[in-house]
Copies of this chain bind each other. A is one copy, B any other.
C-alpha cells in the first residue's frame, strides 16, 4: 500500500542488495513495510531505540505498527545489518550495520551523547587476552561512561556537582 518504497529509486544501492539477500536467504518476502523501515533506518542517526525508529517510520507511513518495526530490527540484527547496543538506560539501541567496522562507545552520563571510537591497539590486547584463555571470541563490547569535554566545561562553570545516574547497569 505505502508507495514510499516504490517512490525511491535507490534500491539497487549495495545496502539494499544486502537487505534483499538477507530476505532471500531466509525465504522471507519483500513488503512495503520492510522497505520503509529499512529505508528510514539506514538514513537515521545512529543509536536509535525501537521506539525512536517506530516514530520516524510513522512519519513516512503512519499505518506501520510497532510490532513490525520491532520484528524487522530483529531480522536486521540476525543478518548483521543492524547492531544492537545497550548503554545502561534500559533501552536497546540499534545502529545500521552495513559496511561498518567494529567500534566501541564513549557514553556521556550528563548529556547522553554517544561517541564511537576504534583502537587497533585495544583490539590487539583483546586478542591476546582471548587466546591466553583459550577462548574463541565471537563478539565484544567496550563501553566507557563518563563526562564528555563539553559537559565537563559546563559543569565546571555552573559549579554544579557532577550528576550520577542512579541506576546504570555496567
Query: Bound state CA distance, A168 and B169, in angstroms?
Result: 15
Q: How far is the CB of A111 from chain B (nearest CB, A)?
A: 12
Q: Say whether B149 contacts A133, CB under 8 Å.
A: yes
A86 to chain B, nearest CB (A): 5
Interface residue tally for chain A (C-beta within 8 Å): 41
Q: Is there a chain B Cβ closer than 8 Å to A144's Cβ?
A: yes
CA distance A152 to B143 in the complex (A): 27
Which of B119, B130, B148, B149 meets A129, CB within 8 Å? B119
The CA of A117 and the CA of B135, in the complex, are separated in Å by 12
Q: Known contacts A121-B125, A126-B122, A129-B122; is A148 also within 8 Å of B134 by CB?
A: yes
- Contact among B119, B134, B147 with A135 in the assembled complex (CB-CB below 8 Å): B147
Select A139's contact among B74, B139, B168, beta carbons within 8 Å. B168
A-B contact list, 28 entries, CB within 8 Å: A84-B168, A84-B169, A85-B169, A86-B169, A106-B133, A108-B135, A109-B138, A115-B133, A117-B129, A117-B133, A122-B125, A122-B126, A122-B129, A129-B144, A134-B148, A134-B149, A135-B147, A135-B148, A136-B147, A137-B144, A138-B145, A138-B146, A138-B147, A138-B164, A139-B145, A139-B146, A140-B143, A141-B142
